């Protein structure tokens, strides 16, 4: 890459192998179901997640929206973490486009809603009330530094959902980071949910795309919703070709990104004026803050790093977010640590 970019794992460029595969991909019209590369990717993704079928979509946001619109209808309610991505970072799409009422609940240090609160949030059958229809979960949990939530939580959510006839959708934008960190197969992470979306275009390095997976009936419905949102694509096998490599070659190596994040967090802990909770770093996202007595503003620090071609994101008044990925490894982590030390202590 042309810069050292810690702002997100979405900034990743496709790998050389991806560019090669994209150039040579067999294609067809996917709205006719005739793109062999997309069909292969959808089958592979579903198999990896232990679901019957998959659907290639343009983004994680679109995958979540299609899923929500397929599970629920206008006036239905979706129980969701108040800092969950589907509630906080997706432009209110479930409400503005679907007429679905979000019911946000607080989350704990891992990103889990309290199970009693979830049960209490489910509405009785009463014409005054919205109809509870869906529980939205997320793994890994972005707002908790990509915390990989242990699987017993999802088993408990499943049990509550079954008791009340609700569906469960998992926003698994970084599903494979969670699986690698938990040391389990991705299909275990998704075993308790009806549907799951995950991103190819984050740590897995593909340029574009996400997958939505679930039962064959659900994906049949979701395919129609995708079309209605303008998400039907034609010779998009060129994109899916990169996705096949993402699933084949880029999953296991996510452990390297997690190791880089550990190296970064431990290095940050050594810099005077930087506050970081090393134990909270479980995958590839590191949140850290400036101590109150540091005379620089985060804006100044971000600006000074840019002079060295290092890109870092702000996250709140004195907080930063650094995300490790394929294109920022040990050498880049060390360069960030060294440069940050110089800037913060001068």
Residues that bind ligand PLP (CB under 6 A): 59-61, 85, 138, 142, 171, 173, 199, 201, 210
Q: Indicate the residue among 9 and 30 with the shorter CB distance to ligand PLP.
A: 9
Q: Indicate the residue among 111 and 267 with the shorter CB distance to ligand PLP.
A: 111
Give the contacts of 85 (CB within 8 A, at least 6 positions apart): 60, 64, 138, 142, 143, 171, 173
Length of the chain: 346
**Residue 142 CB, nearest approach to ligand PLP (Å):** 4
**Residue 143 CB, nearest approach to ligand PLP (Å):** 8
Q: Indicate the residue among 59 and 132 with the shorter CB distance to ligand PLP.
A: 59
**Residue 239 CB, nearest approach to ligand PLP (Å):** 13
Q: Indicate the residue among 158 and 169 with the shorter CB distance to ligand PLP.
A: 169
Q: Which residue pairs from 14-21 have beta carbons closer than 8 angstroms and sit at least 24 positions apart in sequence?
A: 14/205, 14/206, 14/207, 14/242, 15/205, 15/245, 15/249, 15/250, 15/326, 17/245, 17/249, 18/205, 18/206, 18/207, 18/241, 18/242, 18/245, 18/246, 19/242, 21/241, 21/242, 21/244, 21/245
Nearest to 22 by CA among 229, 174, 238: 238
**Residue 218 CB, nearest approach to ligand PLP (Å):** 19
Residue nearest to ligand PLP (CB): 60
CB 215 within 8 A of CB 194: yes
Q: Indicate the residue among 61 and 283 with the shorter CB distance to ligand PLP.
A: 61
**Residue 51 CB, nearest approach to ligand PLP (Å):** 18
**Residue 113 CB, nearest approach to ligand PLP (Å):** 15
C-alpha neighbours within 13 Å on the C-beta side of residue 293: 3
Q: Indicate the residue among 210 and 284 with the shorter CB distance to ligand PLP.
A: 210
CB 198 within 8 A of CB 254: no
Q: Indicate the residue among 60 and 237 with the shorter CB distance to ligand PLP.
A: 60
Q: How far is CA 227 from CA 55, 73, 346, in A?
A: 12, 17, 55
Q: Indicate the residue among 200 and 340 with the shorter CB distance to ligand PLP.
A: 200
CA-to-CA distance for 230 and 62, rounded, in angstroms?
10
Q: Report the DSSP beta bridge partners of residue 80.
A: 104, 136
**Residue 258 CB, nearest approach to ligand PLP (Å):** 16
Nearest to 197 by CA among 213, 185, 183: 213
Q: Indicate the residue among 72 and 137 with the shorter CB distance to ligand PLP.
A: 137
**Residue 283 CB, nearest approach to ligand PLP (Å):** 11
Q: Cα–chain-centroid distance for residue 263?
A: 22
110 burial class (0-12, 13-18, 19+ CB within 10 angstroms)? middle
**Residue 61 CB, nearest approach to ligand PLP (Å):** 3
Q: How far is CA 47 from CA 130, 185, 215, 230, 318, in A?
A: 35, 12, 11, 26, 43
């Amino acid at each position: 890459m042309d810069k050292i970019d810690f702002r997100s794992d979405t900034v990743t460029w496709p790998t050389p192998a991806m560019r090669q595969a994209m150039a040579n991909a067999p294609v067809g019209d996917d709205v006719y179901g005739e793109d062999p590369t997309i069909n292969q990717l959808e089958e592979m993704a579903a198999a990896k997640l232990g679901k019957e079928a998959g659907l290639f979509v343009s983004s994680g946001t679109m995958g979540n929206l299609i899923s929500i619109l397929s599970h629920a209808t206008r006036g239905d309610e979706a129980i969701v973490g108040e800092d969950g991505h589907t509630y906080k970072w997706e432009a209110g799409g479930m409400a503005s486009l679907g007429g679905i009422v979000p019911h946000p609940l607080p989350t704990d240090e891992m990103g889990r809603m309290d199970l009693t609160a979830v049960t209490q949030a489910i509405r009785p059958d009463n014409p005054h009330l919205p109809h509870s229809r869906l529980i939205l979960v997320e793994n890994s949990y972005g707002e908790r530094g990509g915390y990989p939530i242990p699987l017993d939580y999802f088993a408990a959510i499943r049990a509550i959902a079954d008791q009340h006839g609700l569906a469960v959708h998992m926003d698994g934008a970084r599903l494979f980071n969670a699986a690698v960190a938990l040391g389990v197969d991705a299909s275990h992470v998704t075993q308790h949910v009806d549907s799951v979306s995950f991103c190819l275009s984050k740590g897995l390095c593909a340029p574009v795309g996400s997958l939505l997976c679930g039962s064959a009936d659900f994906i049949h419905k979701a395919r129609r919703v995708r079309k209605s949102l303008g998400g039907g694509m034609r010779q998009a096998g060129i994109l899916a070709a990169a996705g096949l490599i993402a699933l084949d070659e880029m999953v296991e190596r996510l452990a390297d990104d997690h190791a880089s994040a550990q190296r970064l967090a431990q290095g940050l802990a050594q810099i005077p004026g930087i506050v970081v909770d090393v134990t909270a770093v479980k995958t590839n996202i590191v949140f850290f803050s400036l101590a109150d007595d540091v005379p620089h503003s985060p804006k100044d620090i971000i600006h000074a790093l840019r002079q060295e071609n290092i890109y870092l994101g702000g996250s709140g008044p004195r907080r930063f977010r650094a995300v490790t990925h394929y294109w920022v490894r040990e050498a880049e982590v060390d360069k960030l640590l060294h440069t940050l030390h110089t800037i913060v202590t001068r």
